[in-house]
Amino acid sequence: MSSRGWKTYRLRDLCKKIGSGATPRGGKETYLSEGPYALIRSQNVLDFFFSSNGIAFIDEGQANQLNNVELQERDILLNITGDSVARVCQVNKELLPARVNQHVSIVRPDRSRLIPEYLKYFLLNPKFKNYMLGLASVGGTRNALTKGMIEDFEIELPPLRIQRRIADILSALDDKIELNRQTNATLEAIAQAIFKEWFVDFNFPGANGEMVDSELGMIPRGWRAGKFGEIITNYDSKRVPLSSRERESRKGIYPYYGAASILDHIDDFLFDGVYLLMGEDGTVITDDEKPVLQYVTGKFWVNNHTHVLQGRGSFSTEFIYLLLKNTNIKHIVTGAVQPKINQGNMNNLSTVIPDSETMKLFQEITKPNFAYILEIEQQSTTLSTIRDALLPKLMSGEIEV
């Protein structure tokens, strides 16, 4: 027992269930785009938040085979293999009933002793997160956390009332961040709808229905077929990768981006402004065969696994973002083991190039949406910074509640 009266337990003694799922018989061929049961995979488990992007579904027969890994409300999800090992979140209750595959572990606390949200934040505490990552990398070529390892996790536990108070403080911040995320999703959906109306259905202001043939099919007169490289500026030459050891010695406030997410925060930046990051190698393509994108702003650093792009001339960075969101890039991905999108293949993507007047009007209409998206994103960044600063102090008892 610590001087604060907190007691140390092994996680196995505080949980009703610890265990991973399985892939349904038939593998990915059995996945549905919609269905009665969600199948949670590692890509859906992000730190702090659950992602519905690329969610898979299975039918009742497949779900019945996985009844032993049925999710319950407030269960903790822990990724246990691969590059996303040790990511932690809780499932959105709206997705229940659900199952998990073999890359995700369900951790179900005994709520009379351990508040689920408190456990989530305990696992996300940087000190314990680093412990899990170190444990997962021992003794194998693939990062993995076993059931035995998870059961042996030691957790220093305060009384239930303190657990609830800590969980409430951190959850209040996360709830606001999640609300911001939903607001931005709605704003982006509005911009996407306008984009599709204008540049997919060709129903844009001033359209008269007059079409001409091109190598991409029929397009509005005055538009032309071109290449993606014509409408972007590429800043890949400014990227500077840093090893994990270098990043550890350079901790700071500026995001350090990889192919799919922020990997760290360091003490300097390479870019300042609004940019579009497109995965170059590693995580480069989504389940629906679109590119992995990050629309970012402010001061930040980038490693060499993501392309750094802006729109050129009358083509805004926001237009490039929406265009790529609607572009299948499977045919330009190379590498069987390590997927890659090289500059040449990216620049050579065929695309319809509208006239400058249409582009100018589109920018005027969608600019307020994206300005608000960035404003909200900045607010979420501030809230995340506050949460990340409070979390270890609350978990150590440094801040009393």
Domain annotation for the chain: domains and CATH numbers = 7-157 (3.90.220.20), 178-367 (3.90.220.20)
Question: Beta strand pairing status for 15-20 and 104-109?
Answer: antiparallel
Of 367, 369, 376, the C-alpha closest to 190 is 369
225, 352 in Cβ contact below 8 A? yes
Determine what percent of the chain is predicted with pLDDT higher than 90: 78
270: which DSSP letter? Answer: S
Direct distance between the N- and C-terminal alpha carbons of the chain, in angstroms, rounded to an integer: 19
**How far is the C-alpha of 144 from the C-alpha of 82, rounded, in Å?**
7
Pairing mode, strands 251-257 and 299-302 = parallel
Average pLDDT score, the chain: 92
What would the DSSP string read from start to end of 211-242?
A: EEEETTEEEEBTBEEEEGGGSEEE-GGG----
Instruction: Render the burial of 343-374: b for 16+ CB within 10 Å, e for the rest.
Output: eeebeebebbbbeeebbeebbeebeebbeebb
Residue 1's pLDDT band (cuts 50, 70, 90): very low
pLDDT of residue 82: 83
Write out the two tokens for 235.
Answer: 């800043």
pLDDT digits (tens, 9 = 90+) for 144-162: 999 999 999 999 999 999 9
Task: Please tell me the predicted confidence (pLDDT) of residue 31.
Answer: 87
How much is the pLDDT for 141? 58
pLDDT digits (tens, 9 = 90+) for 165-182: 999 999 999 999 999 999
**pTM, rounded to two decimals:** 0.84
SS3 for 9? strand
pLDDT at 2 over 80: no
pLDDT surpasses 70 at 289: yes
CB 53 within 8 A of CB 286: yes
Judge whether residue 13 has pLDDT over 70. yes
**Given this model, what pLDDT does residue 84 score?**
84
